[in-house]
Amino acid sequence: MKAKRTSAKRSLLRWVAPLMFLLLLLCLQNLRAQSATGRQSAWEFGLTGELFNRGLKWEEQTSTLKATNLLLEFRGRNLSNFFNLRMFAGLEQAGLNDIIFEQLPITLEYQGGAISGLIFGARAEATFYRTSTFSLGVLADFTSYIGFKKSFTMPGFVVPAEATAEPAWAQASVGLMVAYDGLENSQPYLEVAGSLLWGAFKMTERIEDLSGEQSIDLKGSGLLSVTFGWNFFLVDKITVSPRIRVFPGSKTAVGAGITFFYGF
């Protein structure tokens, strides 16, 4: 399982790098053809609230990752007239119920709800083709969640008993985006991306002097995601960006978020 996941990550990275380089060349060529009235670059701080569900597979079973995020973002927009770069970090409440740890001395079934943790990542977007009304680009992003250790008392034993949960996951996406630039103060956009999620949920059990530990590998179900968003340029320095994201192959994998950007 680990070998397959590592191989998949390597495949993803192997063709992303040369593709990004090729598109960079195309973008530079395209920029020369653009009129002098290009969009201005801006640096922005953002605040994001986000909810999302993603199907998970583990040991031939399925469950659902339910997450709530609060993120601080730092974005460079329209850098060199074609490039956006976002970096973000914040807190996530990740819910991973219904996972069963059978390798522990006493089998545990996790129904403990959401676990807080740190989430951070980065996203890059590059426009390689632009007309007066549409722009076409590519995107790549990486997100990582590291859950805080959360302990649960296990009642009903004749000695003290406790379980500690530590989830973690990461997600990488690459894809294409198209934006409509024909509106004066807003910009709807559509993204289609391949998205890989992998992670591990570690559970430690301690019953007096009897202890055990098990880590279960997690894998996201569904690879293709579609995101529809809309950037609203309210005033010069404030942008609001709501968006929804679905995985067409799955009815449970859906997310929605909104970001408020303030430029300087």
Partner 1 sequence: MLNLIKNLKKRIRLWPLAVFMALALIITAADSNLAAQKKPWNKKIITSTEKTRIKFGEAVSSTGQLRLRVMNQPLSQPPSKKYSSEKILVKFKPEISIQSSARILEAYQPKGYQLIPRINVYVVQIAEGSSVEETLAALNRNPDVEFAEPDYKLRLAVTPNDQLFRYQYALYNPGGTLQIPGSPTGKNRADIKATGAWDYVKGDPNVLIAVLDSGIDYTHPELSNKVISTGKDFVNNDNDAYDDHWHGTHVAGIIAAATNNTEGIAGVAWNCRLLPGKIISAEGEGDYSWLIQALVWAADFKSGNAEVKVINMSVGGDEPAQALENALRYAYNKGIVLVAAVGNDYEPRVLYPAAYDNYCLAVGASDWNDTVAAFSNYGPQVDVAAPGVWVLSTIPVALTEPGYLPYAFASGTSMAAPHVAGFAALIKSAKPWLTPDQVMKIIKYTPDDIGTSGKDNYAGYGRINTEKALAPFKITK
Buried b (16+ CB within 10 A) or exposed e, 25-55: eebeebeeeeeeeeeeebebebebebebbbb
The DSSP letter of residue 155 is T
Give the residue with the Cβ less far from partner 1, 152 or 232: 152
Give the residue with the Cβ less far from partner 1, 40 or 103: 103
Give the residue with the Cβ less far from partner 1, 16 or 114: 114
Could you give the 3-state DSSP secondary structure of residue 62?
Answer: strand
In whole angstroms, the minimum distance from the beta carbon of 148 to partner 1 comes to: 15
In whole angstroms, the minimum distance from the beta carbon of 185 to partner 1 comes to: 31
The amino acid sitting at 75 is R
Give the residue with the Cβ less far from partner 1, 80 or 107: 107
In whole angstroms, the minimum distance from the beta carbon of 208 to partner 1 comes to: 6
Question: CA dihedral defined by 154, 157, 160, 162, rounded to 10 degrees?
Answer: -20
Q: Estimate to the nearest angstrom the gap between the alpha carbon of 87 and the chain centroid.
A: 12
What is the DSSP pairing of strand 186-207 with strand 161-180? Answer: antiparallel
In whole angstroms, the minimum distance from the beta carbon of 103 to partner 1 comes to: 8
152 - beta bridge partners?
163
Where does this chain bind partner 1 (CB under 8 A)?
Answer: 53, 55, 62-64, 100, 102-103, 105-113, 152, 154, 156-159, 161, 163, 165, 207-210, 250-252
